[in-house]
Each structure stands twice: as C-alpha cells, then as structure tokens.
Amino acid sequence: PQTVYLKDYTPFGYTVEHVDLTFRLSPDATRVISRIRFAPNPAATDRTFFLHGEELNLISARIDGAEVSPEVTDKGLTCEVPDTPFTFEAEVEIAPARNTALEGLYMSNGMYCTQCEAEGFRKITYYPDRPDVMATFDVRIESDLPVLLSNGNPGPRGEGHAEWSDPWPKPAYLFALVAGELEARSDVFTTRSGARVDLNLWVRPGDLHKTEWGIEALKKSMRWDEEVYGREYDLDVFNIVAVDDFNMGAMENKGLNIFNSSAVLASPDTSTDANFERIEAIIAHEYFHNWTGNRITCRDWFQLCLKEGLTVFRDSQFTADMRSAPVKRISDVIALRARQFPEDQGPLSHPVRPESFQEINNFYTATVYEKGAEVIGMLKRLVGDDAYSKALDLYFERHDGEACTIEDWLKVFEDATGRDLAQFKRWYSQSGTPRLSVEERYEGSDYTLTFRQTTPPTPGQAEKAPQVLPIAVGLLNPNGDEVVPTTLLEMTEGEQSFTFPNMPSKPVPSLLRGFSAPVVLDHEASGEDKAFLLAHDTDPYSRWEAGRSLARASLIASILERTEPDAAYLDGLKRLVTDPALDPAFRALMMSLPSQNELAQVLHEKGVTPDPDAIFEAVESLLRAMAERWRDVLPALAEEARVSAPYAPDAEQSGKRALGSAVLGLQTRLDGGAAAKAQFENADNMTLSLSALGALVRADAAEDALAAFETRWSGDRLVMDKWFGIQIMLAPPQVAPDRTRALTEHPAFDWTNPNRFRAVMGSLAGNHAGFHRADGAGYEILGEWLSRLDEKNPQTAARMASAFQTWTRYDDERRAKARATLERLYEKPGLSGDMAEMVGRMLG
Ligand code: HT7
Ligand code: ZN
C-alpha cells in the first residue's frame, strides 16, 4: 500500500461544474451512466486527467459525444482530454449484491444503499473522488422498487423511475442513493425564516414503531442549530434511512442521512436509556454536519478533524443543553480516557491532523473525533463564548461552499479575536497526551502553583514542544468556602508559575476544572485533600474526579500492596451518594470505578507490568467492600431510584435508572442475584431488563434469564446484539474466551453483519481480564475472526484490530502470544491494506 502525505497536496487539474447520473438498478449488474461537465482548473498547474475507479466494469466512455478508450488500471483511468471545458460520459457495471465491504453501492436485506465516505464513490463510477472537487448533482434512478431516494430535492417521479436534484455543490463522498421496500414516519419542520421542510424517517416494514424518537430528535436538532449557531436547513426535504448492515454509526449525505439501524431505531421495550441518548446525539451530529462538513467541507482527508472535531463538539453542546451539562461533561471525559488516551499513548498515536496515512478509513479515530472536539473546547475557553460565536459566524460567512483546511479554521479565530494561534496550532500537529505536574507553595500570604508539562515521545515524534494549556482553577478555604472562583490560567511554557496573593491560609486547589485540557494531571494531592474536594468542590467534574482519584489510589494500593479497600473513601462517597440534593445521574457516575484498562495503563506508567487477573480481583473486592459498607442504605437508594411514571428516556428518569442499576450491582454482591432476578422478571422496559441481566451475568447466575431473553427477543436483531454482547462483556474472565467461541457457533451469529460481529468480538475485547487471559485464548479467537472478516469487510475488521493496541504493556508470556497472533495476521496472504496498516503500526 502507498503512503499519502499532507505535504504533497495539489489541487485537481479540473473543476466539475455539474454531474448527471443514471442508475439502472439490478443486484448483480447495475448500470451507472455518468455525464460530467469538466473545465480546466485555473488554480492548478498539473493537467493530468485521472479519475478514480475501483471494481468497475467499464462499458464505454465518451468525450463531448465521441467514443474514447481510456487507459484503465485497478485504481482508475487516464485519458487525453481537451484544454477547454468538456463533457466526459461513462457507462459502468457494478454488482451491489456481491459488495460485502459495504463501501460504494451495496445491498442490505434486499435494499440498495450507499456509503461513499471516505473513498466509496470510486466504486460506483469513475470520478475525481476527492473532497475538494465539489459539484451539483442530478440523479435518475430506474427500478421497480417503491422507494427511490437520492440527495437534494425530489424531481419528477414516474412508473419505475425517480429523479433527484441537489442544488448545493458537494464532494462525491456525500453522494447517496437508497432503493427498497420501505415505510416512513413523516413530519414537517418549519425553519425560522418560514420555509417548510418535509421530514421522513425510512425503515423496513415492521420497524415503524421504533421511529418516533428519531424524528423528535431531528426536530430538536434543527431548532437548536438555528437558535445556537444561527444555521438553517437548506432543502425542501430531509430524509433519514435505517440500514441493518453498516460499517459505522451513520453518514451525513446531503439531504439523505443513512443510519446504522442501531443508531436511529428505538422503543422503550427494545432500547436502553443509553441507546436513546446515543441516538439523539448521533441524529444531532449528522444533522449538524449539514453546515459543518457539507456546506463547508474538507480540502483533503488530512483535514478530517475540521468537520468531525467541530461536529462532535457541537453535538456535545447539544446534549449538554438537552440533558445535564455536568453529567455530559463527565461522561465525555470517561469516554476520552477509555478510548482516546490508550490510542494516544500507544503505537497507534497520531496527531489530530495526521500528516500521512495509507488507508484513510483507519483514521476515523477517537483522536480525530474526540480529541479534535476537545481542542475546539479549549479554543472556546481561551477566547471566550462571545468571541467563539463571532469566529463561527465569520467561518460560515467566509467559507460557505468551500473545501477548507485547519489553517482556514484558525485564521477566522485570529481575525475575529486578534489572537496569534501559532502555538495553539500544535494541538493539531503534535500527537500524544501531555502530562501536567503541579507543585504548591504557600509563602507569606502568596499561594503559588507551579505547573510543568511534558509529552512523552510518540511514533515518529521524539521531541515535543510546549502546548497552550488552558488550566481552569478554583481555590477553596479549609472550611470549604470557595475563595477563588474558577479562573483560567493560560500556560504556554514548559514550566510556569501562577501566584494568588493575599490568601489568608493555605487553600486547597481544585485543578483542571471541567477537564479544561485533555491532559493527564499528575498531582500527588493527599488523601485528605481529595476527600475534602469530594465533599466540598463546587465544580461537578472536579468533585467527581476527586472521587475517581481516591478510587484509583485505593485500587492501585490493593493491587500492589494487597491492602484492604480505603474505608475513608467509601464512607465519604457514601455520604455523597445518599445525598438527596444531588442529581441521581451524578451520583451514579460517582459510583462508577475506573476501568480495568485504565488501571492497567496507570500501572504501566508506574513501571509495573499489569496483571489483568489481579486488577479484576482488586475491582471486585472494592465493589464487595462497597456493598458491605453500604448495606444499610442500599434498600433506600433502590427505592429512591424507582420510577413510577410511565417510561420516558429523559435525563431525569434515566438518571434514576442509572443510579438504580449501580445499586443493583452492589445488591447482587450481597444477595447472589435475588433482587436482580426479581427486577428481570418484572421489568417493563429494556433498561431495567438489561441492567438486571447484566448483574446476573456478572454473578454467573444468568442461565435462565439468558434463555428467557433469547426466546422473547430472537426476532429482533438489535436486541439480540445486546444478548450476544452482555454475556461476553460481563462474563467472569476465565470463561469469557470459551463463551465467545461457543457463541460464534450460535445459528444467529451472522458475522458478516458488522453490528453482530462487534457485539461478539467487541465485547470480548471489552472484557479486560477475559481478553488478556493468560493462555492467549482471547487473542487467538479475535485474531482468527479478524482474519476471516478481513476477506469480506476490511474496514470493520481493521477498526476492531485496535483491540490489540495495548499488547506491549503486559508480561512476557502474554506479549509473546499477542505478538504471535498479530504476526500470523500480518503474514496472511491477501491481507487487506486496511488491516496491514493497522497491524504493521501495532507491531512497530
Ligand atoms: N462522517 C461519517 C463517517 C463515516 C464513515 C467513514 C468511513 C467509512 C464509513 C463511514 N460511515 C460513516 C460519520 C460521522 O462522523 O458523522
Ligand atoms: Zn461526523
């Protein structure tokens, strides 16, 4: 595979004025007829006429009506062309029914659909398949299927054909087509300037009862983007389609979003509160792309964070507004530490804006998305809310209709605020997680904080320069009063001190409030200071982090020194968790412990080889101690968490159920599963049913419940994904690999469906001690299945291979077994480029 470099960017030699496409749909022989109007690009010097095209059967090609014979390779075609504007026409044949990679035009349960981001359009027809080539598209679809959809506004519809016209210039990756026997839930949205927009959520017959939440989420998103960002929708219709076979969550195609059914379909019977919240966020995310991604797109794929980081940031703001802002912030930090930190601290580390890649599909990562969003959050903190709004207005005004870069993005902030962002730009080019250490000094009445930042070397980047760190700090008096409210310190040096004068006594610092920068804070605060912050901090994130840090310390001590769980921490936490004045959702978050993966990373950083079994045991014994010590309050907490109103997936009810689920986990450690069994039998919604099932699986007492669940839900693919996943994810580690193997032999293990594959293999990878079982069985199973899936669907297989990204942390025996699995994969004849890049990077 070839490596592509950001520094080599050159514009395409031709602009595209307009594209006409005709599709004659047939599962094994779809004809695609294209008519593309090209003109020499005055901004380019290289006039090579190369059109991407892969897995296409070229039937004929014409330039200005005259037949031509282009030179065709397995990557595309080249051709002699005039040096004045011309029309290129091609007719190709493709086989959607044989497309198992789910890129380009493919079939899912008898329905045609497309996925063109990042480079799927080249599997539909010959085209300059790059995001900086933007054009208007007219599409005609010929098929007897009842529903025929494409981008833009609908044109004439006749017997066996439909036409669509998209007036907004777009890159090919936003092209979409859907055809099938579908039904819609429809609604109408009126924009704030009075335009009517028809909304449709299309699903397979039988799924209509799962569409209400999606349509409501869409309307909320449309209104929010008008109110908060001043962005209105710009077509007469907005279509969403649910598809069962999909490589990722969803896709923001112009006017025709395509969703993995797991990311849009919901009903109280079949979906958990977490599903409802995720769906609301993904619908918002894809909708927000209409401006941040579609109207303003990326110049090249190195700029992916331009649309993804910004759109994740916008969807987080939306969720914070719809639900609880502190709960959303803490959840985002948990997710960042679970997904992005391991990536940034291991062999797959790369900058938010990568400088090279072999396969762009491998860079739809937590770093580009979530760290990309954190970078925007820091920018907003540094310039302030008003300046952020001004800069965004300027961005939309200046760049509407363009394909942009991170330089364009930063320039609007520089122009709107007068700030120099040269140093800030390092957040886009330097990989790795900065570590921030702190020293306190109290002299006279001056209180001084001295910070030091260092970023460990990452692949290809040995030396790191200091980055701009916005550090939000508050100071508390020993009596618990806040003497200095949240203040933003702007750190730009490797080492920097900040003094607070006139402090009557030595305060307790509350550092990095709101997680104001995505760093690891190395602060050796005393146990008393942490307990004090747990009790008194006014910043919800810092309060949560104080508890988290006490839990981490207790767990590390019990792993390394075999100490008993920290009783003072458990008592402090108990006071907080039983405080009725606090939001139940926040209390549930306070009860969650650091993940086993995070503990492994902490040990690794301390120079200790993590033992997954010891980590598992330490977590279990802390939870047992918590259950014992809180025995007297658990019934009242369970009662407090009970919801008597009819089910609603709102923040209030979900918070209560989250608290109830955490409490049930503890109760199960005391009663062996009696309360969980009762909850399972009486549950009238999936949240309660699944939390009970999870508690039973963890207690190894779920046999009957799993059988009953399977009988009830065998006809619902999305629910069966939960059934497959939960019994592996929460299995006792020793049985997890064998259970995984047994489930791969279950008749419903349709492994070519990405959701089902992820439910099984992703859950094995998520069972830390199970995946890293000492005999290497976890590595072997995953390796075998990755190898098998790679032959059909390289994109999904390669993404899942990142489960191995931490393999070098562990002991010699585990390392040898993981290495052997990775080497076997790497040496497999015919391995995809996607997988070769991922495994190659992990082997180093
Ligand atoms: N922009 C979309 C990314 C995406 C994607 C990328 C590669 C291959 C398949 C894909 N499906 C969706 C989704 C998003 O971030 O909104
Ligand atoms: Zn996105």
Mean pLDDT by groups of 10 residues along the chain of 844 residues: 96 98 99 99 97 98 98 98 98 98 98 98 99 99 98 97 98 99 98 99 98 99 99 99 98 99 98 99 99 99 99 99 98 98 98 98 98 99 98 99 99 98 99 98 98 98 98 96 98 98 96 98 93 97 98 98 96 98 98 98 97 98 98 98 98 98 98 98 98 98 98 98 99 98 98 98 98 98 99 98 98 98 98 98 97
Q: Are strands 520-522 and 435-443 parallel, antiparallel or unpaired?
A: parallel
Pairing of strands 237-243, 256-260: parallel
| CATH number for position 754 | 1.25.50.10
Question: Which of residues 484, 508, 532 is at a domain's end?
Answer: 508
Q: What is the CATH number of the domain that holds 35?
A: 2.60.40.1730
- Collapsing DSSP to helix, strand or coil, 309 comes out as helix
d(CA 93, CA 58): 7
Q: Could you report the per-residue pLDDT of 156-179, keeping only the tens digit for each?
A: 999 999 999 999 999 999 999 999
Q: Which two three-digit tokens encode residue 259? A: 């969703």
Asked whether residue 233 is domain-assigned, the answer is no
Q: Is residue 650 part of a domain?
A: no
Kindly state whether residues 408 and 449 are assigned to the same domain.
no
Q: Specify whether 440 is located in the same domain as 385.
A: no
Report d(CA 171, CA 396) in Å as an integer.
18
Indicate the top mutation candidate among 108, 117, 260 to test ligand 1's pocket, ranked by most ligand atoms within 8 A of CB.
Answer: 117
Same domain? For 424 and 463 the reply is no
Q: To the nearest 10°, report the CA torsion of 243, 244, 248, 253.
A: -10
Smallest-distance ligand from the CA of 263? 1
Are 499 and 374 members of one domain? no
Integer Cα distance of 283 and 272 in angstroms: 17
Domain assignment present for 267: no
**Hey, whose CA ends up nearest to atom 2 of ligand 1?**
251
688-692: list long-range contacts, CB under 8 Å, 24+ apart.
688/657, 688/660, 690/272, 690/722, 690/726, 691/657, 691/660, 691/661, 691/664, 692/664
Residues 794, 120 contacting (CB under 8 angstroms): no
Q: Provide the CB-side half-sphere exposure for 683 (13 A, CA).
A: 26
Residue 596 CA to residue 460 CA, distance in Å, equals 29
Dist. CA 115 → ligand 1 center (Å): 8
Backbone angles phi and psi of 694, in degrees to 5: -60, -45
**Residues 319, 451 share a domain:** no
Quote the pLDDT of residue 1. Answer: 78
**443 & 418 share domain:** no
Compute the chain's Rg from CA coordinates.
27
Strands 86-94 and 30-40: antiparallel
User: Is 564:508 a contact under the CB 8 Å cutoff?
Assistant: no
CB atoms under 10 Å from CB of 10, counted, come to 10
The pLDDT value recorded for residue 61 is 98
Q: Are 553 and 527 in contact (CB under 8 A)?
A: yes
Residues in the chain: 844
Q: 294, 205 in Cβ contact below 8 A?
A: no
| CA-nearest residue, atom 5 of ligand 1 | 117
Atom 11 of ligand 1, nearest CA residue: 248
**Looking at residue 137, what is its pLDDT?**
99
Lining residues, ligand 1, CB within 6 Å: 115, 117-118, 247-248, 250-252, 285-286, 289, 308, 361, 364, 795
Determine which residue's CA is closest to atom 12 belonging to ligand 1: 251
ipTM of the assembly?
0.98
Domain stop point among 162, 181, 200: 181
- Cα–Cα distance measured from residue 776 to residue 760, given in angstroms and rounded to the nearest whole number: 17
**What total number of domains does the chain contain?**
4
Task: Please tell me the distance between residue 364's alpha carbon and the centre of ligand 1 in angstroms.
Answer: 7
Check whether residue 311 and residue 448 sit in a common domain: no
Token pair in block for residue 832: 């995809």
Nearest ligand (C-alpha, residue 250): 1
Judge whether 773 lies within some domain.
Answer: yes
| Distance, CA of 483 to CA of 501 (rounded, Å) | 12
Residue 60 and residue 164 in one domain: yes
Domain contains 675: no
pTM for the model stands at 0.99
* CATH code of the domain containing 316: 1.10.390.10
Distance CA 546, CA 552 (A): 10
106 beta partners:
113
Which of left, alpha, beta for 35 (phi over 0: left; psi -120 to 50: alpha)? beta
pLDDT at 487: 98
Q: Does some domain include residue 788? A: yes
Residue 152 lies in a domain: yes
Q: Is 227 helix (H, G, I), strand (E, B) or coil?
A: helix
Question: CA 100, CA 97: separation in Å to the nearest integer?
Answer: 8
Using the atom order of ligand 1, give the atom closest to the CA of residue 289. Answer: 16
Rounded-to-5 percentages of helix, strand, coil across the chain = 45, 20, 35
Structural domain contains residue 320: yes
Tell which of 508, 531, 560 closes a domain: 508
Verify that 87 and 22 share a domain, yes or no: yes
The predicted structure's pLDDT at residue 598: 97
Which residues lie below 8 Å from residue 639, measured CB to CB, with a gap of 6+?
A: none
Catalytic residues: 286
Question: 339 with 400, same domain?
Answer: yes
Do 416 and 454 share a domain, yes or no? no
What range does the domain containing 378 cover?
297-429
Q: Tell me, what amino acid is at 348? A: L
Query: What is the structure's pLDDT at 524?
Result: 82
441 and 423 fall within a common domain: no
